[in-house]
Every structure is written in C-alpha cells, then in structure tokens.
Amino acid sequence: MSVYEESWKERAAIQQKEIESIKPRHFVLELSDADVERLYEKAYSSSATPEQVLKDFVGNLVCGTYTSGSDEVETANAYFGRTYWALEGDFLAWAMEEYQLDDVKEAMAIRDDASENLEYYAEHPESADPDDIEGAEEQHKAAESELREIYQIYVREMEQHKSGVIQNYEEAINSVGKYLRELKCMKRIGYTSWPEYFADQRKDIPPKDKAFKELKEWLDLDAHRVNYCADDKDINRNHVNYGCVITTARVLREMGHRTDIPVWEDENGCLRIPYIIIDDEKISYTGTMADEEADTAAEDKAGFIQAIGKALHRKAPRTGVTGIEYVSDGTEEFAVITFDNGSQKRVCVTADSCLAMLNDVYRVLR
C-alpha cells in the first residue's frame, strides 16, 4: 500500500467517525421578520433550505466533515476574517491563539476533581483517608499553581503589547469554563445547556402534566450522569447521581407511575444503568458501552445481586452484610445474604426485575 493510499484511508476513517456523530444542533438566532423572509427567499430561490444554507456555510468555514470545495472554503474564511476578530484582552481567545487551551483544560479538570474529592471527604469524614486528603490537596495546589502561571504569561503579553483591558484571574478562568460546558452540552445533547434542552422539550406540554414531565426528565438526566461519571471513572459523583436516580424514581412511584431501573457495577466500582422504564416507556442508554454488553449485564441477576452485596459491604457497613449470592434450584431463585457474624438470610427473587430484587433485599435489611 502506498503512502498516499494509507493517508487516504486514514482520512476516510476520520470522516466516517465524524459522519456517525451528526445530529441536530440547536443554536438560537435572533433575526428580524424581514431578515427571516430574505433568508427564505435567498435559500429557496436556489432550491435550498435555510437550514441547508447555514449548515453548508459552517462546513465551508471550518473545512468540516462536508465542504462545497476548496474555493468555497477559502471564500468563507475570507469573509470571516474581514468580519470577526478577537477582542483585545480576551483570555479565551488568547489561550486558543497561543496553544495554551489544552493545558488550561487539563489543569482545570484536575483542580475541579480535587475540589470535589475534598468536598466529599469533608461531608463523609468516616471514609476520608488522611493520605487521600493530602493527595487531593496537593493535586489542587499544583493545578491552581499551573493555572495562575499560564494566566501570568497572558498578563505579561497583554502588558507588553498594551492590548486591551486585561481580564482578572476569575473572569479569565470562568470564561474557559463556560466555553467548555457549552461545548460539552452541544456535543452530547445538541443544546448549549440542559435547562435549555428541557425548556424546549416542555414548551407544548399542558400545565397539569408538567410535574410528571419534569420529574421524568430529571430521572433521565441523572441516569445519563450516572453513566457519564462511570465513563470518567468518577466514583463519587457516580454514586451521588445514582442516589438522585432512586430518589426521583421513588417520587414517581408515589405519584402512581411504574419505574424499573436495572443497575450493575463495573470493574472500577462505578454503577451503570443500561436503561430505565417509566410506565410503558423504555429509555435505553447506549454509547457508554456496547448494546450487547449492556443487555447481558441487565439480565445477569447473579452479577446484579453480587453488585448489591459489594455496594452494601463497602458503603453501608452498619448493615453487617459481607456479600450476597444468587442461587437457583431450577424452579425458585434466591438471594442469599451473608452477614459478618456468619449468619445468612434467603430472599426469594423468583421472576423479579432488578429493581424488585433491590427492594426485596432492602426490605429484609430494615
């Protein structure tokens, strides 16, 4: 295979991956009625649609997944260069221009993770190891020091070139945080924020149905967060969001709705939710692992029951549970709970869903 053929295949593979991520993205354009009419006339006079015109312009501007050709790419960028320019003193624009953004992102991620860990240790002193606390404090200090060092480079360059108003440290770092949050939401859900997404989904719902709709949306959101945190191996936030899931599900059941939420524990100790059922609607969460693996985990009662036992032993030592084992005699299924004093209890879980098994086990432990 020639170097050209290998390079072409690599580019084709990259483009195919980009194509697979295509989905609707929602940006709010503030236009006058007259400009809307002009846009429609301009688009349809060329047998196109407004959406197609805007999408094609973006593709040419960023030389993206699809373009209209090299001339169109050059023309779009010439227009952009004559129309837009970075505000002098804008820290985010400076970080992008000076290739500092990746370093800022990495330092912010380390600092924020360390902050969350320290908050968790403060709220749960019984699970706080002194070495873990010291490690988190050192991580936070090092990341904060790196951020301030990058910020000082920015300040020196702005002073040297006498460029605009220099942003203070908090404004500078917060501008990067806002950019990263919006980008993350736009890539995942097609909106700049979760509240914007939910507001759009609720806009045509009768008032009497809004309470149920909002709770359903929050349950969906928290289930997403459980899996996202598991992908990031963030066990603390993973467990906190799972607590939100089961709390919201309990409220929905009190309102008369049926909920079923299977859960399993991965090799990192994080909980994962392959799908949720609300009344007769099933919402699946794919993309964080293979569909086949998710279905297998959801149906694996033995694995699910063992995960409950591990979670109770690690997170609720007062129950005295050392483990839970799944056994079947061919006609009946049981969860056998073993306690630290050597005693055992058998709980019948025949034909139970995962949520029903969880409820049966907790009922015995009350």
**Domain edges within the chain:** 25-83, 91-189, 212-287, 300-366
Q: What is the predicted pLDDT for the residue at 264?
A: 82
Query: What is the tens place of the pLDDT at every residue in 176-234?
Result: 999 999 998 898 888 888 778 777 766 665 554 667 887 888 888 889 889 888 888 88
Mean pLDDT over 347-358 rounds to: 70
Residue 76 to residue 228: CA distance in whole angstroms: 36
Is residue 322 scored above 70 in pLDDT? yes
CA triplet 351, 357, 362: central angle to 5 degrees?
150
Query: What is the tens place of the pLDDT at every residue in 55-103?
Result: 999 999 999 999 999 999 999 999 998 888 877 889 999 999 999 999 9
Convert 234-270 to b/e letters by CB count within 10 Å (16 or more is b): bebbbbbbbebbeebbeebeeeeeebebbbbbbeebb
Convert 59-71 to b/e letters by CB count within 10 Å (16 or more is b): bbbeeeeebeeee
Mean pLDDT over 24-48 rounds to: 93
Instruction: Please name the residues in contact with 187: beta carbons below 8 A apart, sequence gap of 6 or more.
Output: 21
CA-based nearest residue to 233, from 261, 271, 273, 275: 271
Q: What is the predicted pLDDT for the residue at 6?
A: 58
Q: Distances from the Cα of 75 to the Cαs of 69, 78, 80, in angstroms?
A: 10, 5, 9
Q: What is the predicted pLDDT for the residue at 205?
A: 56
Task: Tell me the whole-structure pTM to 2 decimals.
Answer: 0.55
Q: What is the predicted pLDDT for the residue at 291?
A: 41
Output the six-digit token pair for 140: 């936070």
Residue 49 to residue 51: CA distance in whole angstroms: 5
Output the six-digit token pair for 181: 């949050």
Residue 114: count of CB within 10 angstroms of its CB: 20
Residue 226 to residue 237: CA distance in whole angstroms: 8
259, 280 Cβ separation under 8 angstroms = no
Q: Highest-confidence range of 61-75, 254-268, 273-287, by mean pLDDT?
A: 61-75
Residue 246 to residue 243: CA distance in whole angstroms: 5
